[in-house]
């Protein structure tokens, strides 16, 4: 080793790649990414072109890249999806995440972060939305205590259909992923009991007593015109969330099997 070797700056410490693990001591919380406006081309490549209802694809796995070469912030954390930069954590969030994961002053990556691409609509020339990104990170990284654990679910009896049934899809399952995870474990592949319940103009879908989504606006309007109370005798199949190729994450969903005499009145 020569004299000048002592004068060369030491490379930053490297931390091994880690994977986010939502264990029993934590739960997810939404964290906004910043700087997406500089990465709109990358986000369009990842999520697909803009449509009137938003991007073609919205759920992905992201990586948090801890690096030290940012001239404005040596503790910065870059957010990547499919190897493409989509933004950064805010300065405050980056320091919080580094401290919580032992990454202060280090370089490395945190893999397996759930990410949702938002915005990305194009309804007219004057009505368009830029792409954004929201991450789901463990709440314990931010010092937030987990909510009390819900009481264990008990399997409700499933009523066999009196006649033919029709499979229908619902909307809003993305807002009820925690409930669907619990139901997935309970169901173990079998059908569960479900009801359709009118509430303030909407029609909620409850599976084993838990709200998992609702009917679309058009079908809900017809339901409320035809029925004045909830409809039971419905079966539900839970579709577990899955990770697919290309970093895409497909959330859990629900298919309802509704008696045909009910469905006919909703057409």
pLDDT digits over 105-118, tens only? 889 999 989 899 99
Residue 3 inside a domain? The answer is no
Residue 19 inside a domain? The answer is yes
Q: Which helix (H) or strand (E) holds 264?
A: helix 260-264
How far apart, in whole angstroms, are the C-alpha atoms of residue 252 and residue 265? 28
pLDDT tens-digit readout, 169-228: 999 998 888 899 889 988 888 899 999 999 999 999 999 999 999 999 999 999 999 998
The β-bridge partners of 204 are 197, 214
Domain that holds residue 78: 11-142
Residues 15 and 135 in one domain: yes
pLDDT tens-digit readout, 136-150: 998 889 988 777 777
Q: Is the dihedral of CA 136, 39, 80, 122 positive or negative?
A: positive
Tell me what pLDDT residue 168 has: 93
* Model-wide pTM > 0.75: no
What does the DSSP assignment read for 135-165? EEEEGGGGTPPPPPPPPPP-PPPPPPPSS-E
Residues 129 and 227 in one domain: no
Residues 118 and 219 in one domain: no
Query: Average pLDDT, stretch 76-89?
Result: 96
Under a CB-based contact definition with an 8 Å cutoff, are residues 152 and 92 in contact?
no
Q: Count Cα neighbours of 49 within 13 Å in the Cβ-side half-sphere.
A: 3
CA distances from 88 to 20, 39, 75, 80, 119 (A): 17, 10, 11, 9, 17
Residues 193 and 123 in one domain: no
How far apart, in whole angstroms, are the C-alpha atoms of residue 119 and residue 61? 18
């Amino acid at each position: 080793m020569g004299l000048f070797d002592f004068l060369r700056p030491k490379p930053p410490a490297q931390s091994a790649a880690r994977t986010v693990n939502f264990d029993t001591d934590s739960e997810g919380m939404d964290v906004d990414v910043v700087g997406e406006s500089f990465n709109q081309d990358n986000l369009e490549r990842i999520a697909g072109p803009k449509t009137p209802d938003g991007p073609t694809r919205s759920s992905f796995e992201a990586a948090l890249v801890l690096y030290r070469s940012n001239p404005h912030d040596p503790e910065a954390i870059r957010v990547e999806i499919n190897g493409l930069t989509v933004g950064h954590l805010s300065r405050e969030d980056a320091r919080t995440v580094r401290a919580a994961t032992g990454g202060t002053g280090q370089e490395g990556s945190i893999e397996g972060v759930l990410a949702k691409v938002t915005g990305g609509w194009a309804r007219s020339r004057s009505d368009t939305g830029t792409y954004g990104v929201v991450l789901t990170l463990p709440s314990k990284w931010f010092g937030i205590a987990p909510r009390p654990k819900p009481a264990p679910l008990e399997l409700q009896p499933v009523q066999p259909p009196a006649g033919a049934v029709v499979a229908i899809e619902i909307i809003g399952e993305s807002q009820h992923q925690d409930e669907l995870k619990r139901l997935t474990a309970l169901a173990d592949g079998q059908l569960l009991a479900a009801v359709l319940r009118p509430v303030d103009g909407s029609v909620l879908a409850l599976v084993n007593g838990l709200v998992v989504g609702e009917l679309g606006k058009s079908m809900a309007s017809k339901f409320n015109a035809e029925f004045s109370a909830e409809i039971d005798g419905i079966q539900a199949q839970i579709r577990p969330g899955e990770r697919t190729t290309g970093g895409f994450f497909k959330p859990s969903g629900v298919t309802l099997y509704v008696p045909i005499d009910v469905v006919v009145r909703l057409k």
